[in-house]
Structure 1
Amino acid sequence: MKNSFNHQNFIFFISLIISVFLGLSSNSFLILWMAMEINLFSFIPLMSVDLENNSEKSMVLYFLIQSVSSMIIFSSMIWLTLSKINMINQLVISTIFLGIFMKMGVFPFQFWVISLIESISWMNCFILLTIQKIIPITMMFCMLQKKIILIICFFNSMVASISGLTIFSLRKIFSFSSMNHLTLMILCMTFSKKIFKMYFIIYSFMNAMGMKIMNLNKMLFLQEMMMMTKKNSLDFISIIVVFFSMAGIPPFLGFLPKAMILMKMVENSLLFLSLSILILNTITSFFYLRLSYMSLILSLNMKKEVKHKPKNSFPWFLLLTLFPLGLIL
């Protein structure tokens, strides 16, 4: 994996960030669509950092999916502008949501994300699972359709929770976790923009810390994580704390937004959906706990070696921020 980030890639990264701010600062569908296209053509060159990891196929796959979804969204926007029949308009809006869900990799279009995630670096995983979601979610803000959102959120959470139980690839685990968190974030935006913004920042922060540790220790699979205890115990403790926070276990930071969105759902009389999401999130928490438990148990059976201070170590003191903020609730 190449970690070099040359000047050309830096320019594309800046372009990607600018496209996000362009999308956030506009309520026009046309500007949002343009921002998504700039975002697409900025991210593809960043994927070229991993050429030895068959990134050419990844770039083609990503480009095709994003191009098809962009065509669906753009053609639907034109049709929506020209059509004056209410029934047709509702169908067109549903088609726009279809394109948005395809862009984000939400059910039933999660397969391209799972396939792509295995062939890109941890840095690009972070961009794909966080930054690349911002503009499509912003577009959803402009045209809320509660029925569509609630149905998709339920199935998205169910697929993410069940699929993650049999996975041993750490990048795939993060992608299924992203699907689950995305469900809650989409639900957030139907009730409170403030909670959504807070949730997205916390989610991005947890992802950044977890993927940074994985990248420093060059971990891709569960077996490699199990070996980390005898190499770098501090990083091992750090990733366990990140997993507990992403699972939403109190008093960690990840518990706060999950509790707030569930309370909002109960306030809006969505009792069945809130109970379903709670059960499915418990399943999601299980595969985080499984990772931690298996790593701890198997590490105890390993022959202890003389520990050495690694050259690259995660600044684990940052994890202290995951504790007190989780107690605000």
Structure 2
Amino acid sequence: MSFQTRFSPAMLVFLLWVMGGVVGVTFSKGVMGVWYMMESMFIGVLALISGGSTEENESAMKYYIFQSIGSLLMFLSLLSIFCSSGFSLHVAYSLFCWGVMVKLGLFPFQFWVPAVLGLCSWSSFFVISWIQKIPSLWLIVMLGVPLSFTGIFEASVWMTVIIGALSGVGVLQYRVLLAFSSLVQTGWFVMLSLCSGVVIFMYMFIYGLTLGIVLVKLNHYNVFSYLDHTNFRDWSGSSWSSEVKKVGLFLDLASLAGIPPFLGSVGKFVGVFYLWSNYYISSIILVLSSLFTFYFY
């Protein structure tokens, strides 16, 4: 499903709705405002990812179910924050952690990510993998996570990135492969959101740019798996041009994995610099997982 065939005036309206939600989330001064804008934005996202095929509608339904569960947990956590007792705050942060894990696809809820992204269009893939993660990460930055709950996030991130790195081995479908890669990227997102709001959004900007380039090329060349590489030649008309396009796509994937000297490595280097002092074990696991994703690319 190409970007062009999905375009319509209604899609443009919902895209502006989603982007307005991102702006609203960023400039909201309170956590309830962020939650409200996040849920408003979610309506637009559902409209964007719902398509004309059975697979896309199935993907949208799965996504709706898990996001609704995560939203409910996060709403209950924000309500509990207004209670002043220590027990209520403990319950609030517990619910918040579980809500974030469900919405972002962290362990033990990572299974919905390939199930959803493996069936959606390239444009929906971009929205779910990048845009829709911004509100949850911004809530982490705004609320701050107590030290006692940071360990829960760390352990969840470790398992998520390891599963994402190992599960991509032997996968031929690009959407499923990039879905497992997004699990590794989500680990980077969460750990950096625990450190600095500026760094996480710098990292997300670089990731969104590199991911967008990869998805546009895969969509443009009509390539969905490693078995479709003959489409390069069909599109270009010559074997030489086909090889050039294959190399270009490979270099874009290398940038997505954070391999120097490509753009993606800038985010990884800055991320490790900020993480190393407090989360050096997580830094090592994240870097090794990113290198492993480059292996299966």
Normalising by structure 2, we get a TM-score of: 0.89
Structure 1 distance, partners of 2:233, 2:114, is: 28
User: Which deviates the most, 210-219 or 235-244?
Assistant: 235-244
Q: Deviations over 1:28-56 (max 9, x none)?
A: 121111111111111112223x3124333
User: Which deviates the most, 174-183 or 230-239?
Assistant: 230-239
CA contact (8 A) 2:59 2:116 kept: yes
Q: Which residue of 1 aligns with 2:255?
A: 245
Q: Does 1:89 align with 2:89?
A: yes
CA contact (8 A) 1:161 1:280 kept: yes
Give the AA of the match of 1:19: G
Q: 1:273 to 1:8 in 2, by over 3 A?
A: closer
Q: Deviations over 1:55-91 (max 9, x none)?
A: 3322222222222211111122222323x32134123
Give the AA of the match of 1:104: L
Between the two proteins, the alignment pairs up a number of residues equal to 285
Show structure 2 runs of 5+ residues with no match.
237-241
Structure 2 distance, partners of 1:31, 1:244, is: 38
Structure 2 distance, partners of 1:63, 1:279, is: 32
Q: Does 1:21 align with 2:30?
A: no
4+ aligned runs moved over 4 Å, structure 1: none
Structure 1 distance, partners of 2:57, 2:194, is: 38
Structure 2 distance, partners of 1:72, 1:271, is: 30
Q: Which residue of 2 aligns with 1:262?
A: 272
Identity of aligned residues (%): 22
Normalising by structure 1, we get a TM-score of: 0.81
Q: Which residue of 1 aligns with 2:64?
A: 63
Structure 1 distance, partners of 2:195, 2:211, is: 24
Structure 2 distance, partners of 1:173, 1:11, is: 30
Structure 1 distance, partners of 2:195, 2:69, is: 30
CA offset at residue 130 of structure 1? 0.6
Give the AA of the match of 1:285: F
Picking from 166, 172, 179, the partner of 1:168 is 172
2:194 alignment partner, SS class: helix
CA RMSD between the two structures: 1.9
Q: Which residue of 2 aligns with 1:201?
A: 205
CA offset at residue 198 of structure 1? 1.7
CA contact (8 A) 2:76 2:92 kept: no
CA offset at residue 235 of structure 1? 2.8
1:54 alignment partner, SS class: helix
Show structure 1 runs of 5+ residues with no match.
289-329
Q: Which residue of 2 aligns with 1:277?
A: 286
